[in-house]
Structure 1
Amino acid sequence: MTHITLIRHGQANTGARDEASYDRLSDLGHQQARWLGEHLRNTQAHYTRVYSGTLTRHIETAAGMGLEDIVQDPRLNEMEYFTLAEAMQDQHGLQIPTERAGFVEHMPQVFAAWAADEISNAPESWRDFEIRTKSALSEIAAGSGPAVVVTSGGLIAMAMRQAMDLDTTGTARMALAIMNSSMHRLHPIGGRLSPVLFNAVPHLDNPARHYAQTHL
């Protein structure tokens, strides 16, 4: 096994309320990606393989970072949170928040209902999301040499859930904490992947860039 560095995409279209509209980087998201790419080059970060999901925000982030020879894998795509939220509103009367503060309570409720199969006609089951996350990362970890994976916050939270045996509430809290263009590392310890880095944004640590430490 080898270690994997997971990277959340740069800030996307924060004003969106559906999957298609959300799936593109904002101007700040493009800048975050460029800064992260510069940081990795300046620190001579070592990785031999690069992967990403197939969503536009993944591809734009990887391109902005200057990554090459990228293997795109749909298993690394994000859950359809907007679709799930709309279903929760229609089926259970849970209103969709308009600000980040509202998602602190909203996301754990959506995750709990989704995990309990209480959302009819969900785009995929919680179990299927778990399975594809684990299968993709297990295959990457079994490859030769350290890998970088550009993906989304929900998938990173699911990876952390599997590494740390989190419950659904803990998984939601993990997802809420993950910043745009942040880095997270899973390292093989005792035959399984364990987190050794979480939510690192060294490329945004300069006080002049603190405004770019975004979650949405």
Structure 2
Amino acid sequence: MSHITLVRHGQANSTARDEAGYDQLSPLGRQQSAWLGGHLDAHRQLHTRLYTGTLRRHVETADAMATDLDPVRDSRLNELEYFTLARAMQDEHGLAIPSDREGFVTHLPQVFAAWHENRIAAAPETFAAFETRIRDVLDDIAAGDGPALVVTSGGLIAFAMRQILRLDIPATAAMALAIFNTSLHRLFPIGGTLAPVLFNAIPHLEPPDRHHAQTHL
């Protein structure tokens, strides 16, 4: 097995309230991604393979990182459609969509719980299908040769950690809310399975003049 470094995409369009509107990097998101690529190069953190989802924000993040690796685009690395789930929750259960980050702290676990319990009829994919594609794509990447860099989304990263650490829904939601844009998360093979050895690292955003770029949305 090979180790995998998961990267959450750079800051997207945080003012959007639908999937299409969200799916593009902000100017800060492009800068975060460029700083990450520069950090990996400067510290000689070698990766021989690059994977991304097929979403625009994944592609733009990988391009701005400028790794010189040829990316493999895999839709199994795409994010869950949170805005679609949220609209369905509002329509079916009367749960209002928040207008600020603090509102999502209570909103997100409620949506995840309803999705997990198959109580969202209009969900674009089932909870089980989402978990299965995460497991399958990570198994396939881990089976390849050489360290892999994987650009994806925060929800997928949180659910990958849920599977490995056997987290419940509230803990998974809390983890998803904590993940920084362009953060690093490493899964290392130990005893024939992947184990987390790094979570939510942002060394490229630690200098004082970059603290403003430590974003979640």
What TM-score bracket applies, with the shorter chain setting the length? over 0.9
For residue 48 of structure 2, what is the aligned residue in structure 1? Answer: 48
Among the aligned pairs, what percent are the same residue?
64
Give runs of aligned pairs for residues 177-188 of structure 1, distance below 5 A.
Answer: 177-188=178-189
**Aligned counterpart, 2:114:** 113
Aligned-partner Cα distance in 1 for 2:80–2:159: 10
Residue 214 (structure 1) shift: 0.2
Task: Provide, for residues 50-103 of structure 1, a one-character-per-residue CA deviation record: whole Å limited to 9, x for no partner.
Answer: 000000000000000003300000000000000000000111111111111111
SS in 2 for 1:197: strand
For the 8 Å contact 2:50–2:70, the answer to whether it is kept is yes
- The residue that corresponds to 1:24 in the other structure is 24
Equivalent residue, structure 1, for 2:127: 126
Structure 1 runs (4+) greater than 2 angstroms displaced:
none
Which stretches in structure 1 are left out of the alignment for 5+ residues? none
Correspondence for 1:58: 58
Q: 1:135 maps to what in 2? A: 136
* 1:161 aligned onto 2:162: yes
Please say if residues 5 and 150 of structure 2, whose CA atoms lie closer than 8 Å, have aligned partners that are also in contact. yes
Alignment gaps of 5+ in structure 2:
none
2:83 alignment counterpart: 82
CA apart distance, 1:168: 1.1
Residue 198 (structure 2) aligns with: 197
CA distance in 2, matches of 1:91, 1:190: 45
Which amino acid in 2 is paired with 1:135? Answer: D
Residue by residue over 1:141-186, the C-alpha shift from the partner in whole angstroms, topping out at 9 and shown as x without a partner, is 0111110000000000011001100011111111000000000000
SS in 2 for 1:156: helix
CA displacement, residues 125-145 of structure 1 (integer Å, 9 cap, x when unaligned): 000000000000000001111
Look up the match of 1:93.
94
Question: Normalising to structure 2: TM-score of the pair?
Answer: 0.99
Give the Cα–Cα distance (whole angstroms) in 2 for the partners of residues 215 and 84 of structure 1: 20
Aligned equivalents of 1:87, 1:105: Cα separation in 2:
17
C-alpha separation in 2, matches of 1:37 and 1:195 = 22
TM-score, scaled to structure 1: 0.99
Conservation of the 8 A alpha-carbon contact between 2:32 and 2:182: yes
Shift of residue 121, structure 1, vs aligned partner:
1.8
Assess if the C-alpha contact under 8 Å between 2:85 and 2:122 holds in 1. Answer: no
Q: Equivalents in 1 of 2:32, 2:105: separation in Å?
A: 24
Instruction: Report how many aligned residue pairs link the two structures.
Output: 216
Give secondary structure in 2 for the equivalent of 1:149.
strand
| SS at 2:122 equivalent | coil
